[in-house]
Structures are given as C-alpha cells and as structure tokens.
Amino acid sequence: MKKNDWKDRLNIVYSTNPDFAYSTDEMEENETLPKQQQKLRVSIEKNHRGGKTVTIIKNFVGTENDIKELGRLLKTKCGVGGSTKDGEILVQGDFRDKVIDILKKEGYTQTK
C-alpha cells in the first residue's frame, strides 16, 4: 500500500502523474564520529549577548541527539545553563578550562 499522506504534499499544487514522487526537504543527519576523531574547539564569546560571557563548543560532527546529550553533560558538570543550536553547544559563563578538562576525561582527545 502506498503512503499517501497529504502533509507530504503541502507544497505541490497539482500533478497528473499517479506515480509522481513527492520530494521532501528532510535533511540527512551525519553519523557521529568516534570521540577520538572529534576536533572540538572551545572558545569564549561576549559579543551580542548583553555583556554576558558564554563558552562555545564548535565543530561537533554527529546527530542532533548526540550533541544535545554532550551539551547536557557539560551543563550538568559545570552547574550552569546553556543550549545547543546550529551545531554548537553554548554554556553560560567562562568555563573554558573546565570544559576542556571534562571533554578530555570523556575521551575527546583532540580538543583545544
């Protein structure tokens, strides 16, 4: 039985071809690289944040769930808030040295 969900066809006006394959804009998630191959970069940013200091972890290659899990671990270990968006982990406050130590203990050896 064909999957004929009308939500998959929201952007299509009309097609007379009964075998027309509707394309969806789903992005494929990258596979998560092993911890030893991740080249994470930790930096501090203060601009455009109302004067608040934020620790940013960049260059994580993997699925959305894995980056959220790593962000949750870092926020818990530092005892602060933060978020994960656009492939970056934001940790509130200046925790650069502590984050690097935590990542190295977790097995992310190529962290700077």
Domain containing 44 — which CATH number? Answer: 3.30.780.10
Q: Is residue 111 part of a domain?
A: no
Q: Is residue 93 part of a domain?
A: yes
Whose structure tokens read 């009964």? Answer: 18
User: Over the stretch 42-93, which tens digit does the pLDDT of each residue have?
Assistant: 999 998 888 899 999 998 888 888 999 999 999 999 999 999 988 899 999 9
Q: Is this model's pTM higher than 0.85 or not?
A: no
Quote the number of domains for the chain: 1
Q: Is residue 11 part of a domain?
A: no
Spatial contact of 94 and 44, defined as CB atoms under 8 Å apart: yes
Order of strands, sheet of 54-58, starting from the edge strand that comes earlier in the sequence: 41-45, 54-58, 88-92, 82-85
**Residues ≥6 apart with Cβ < 8 Å to 48:** none
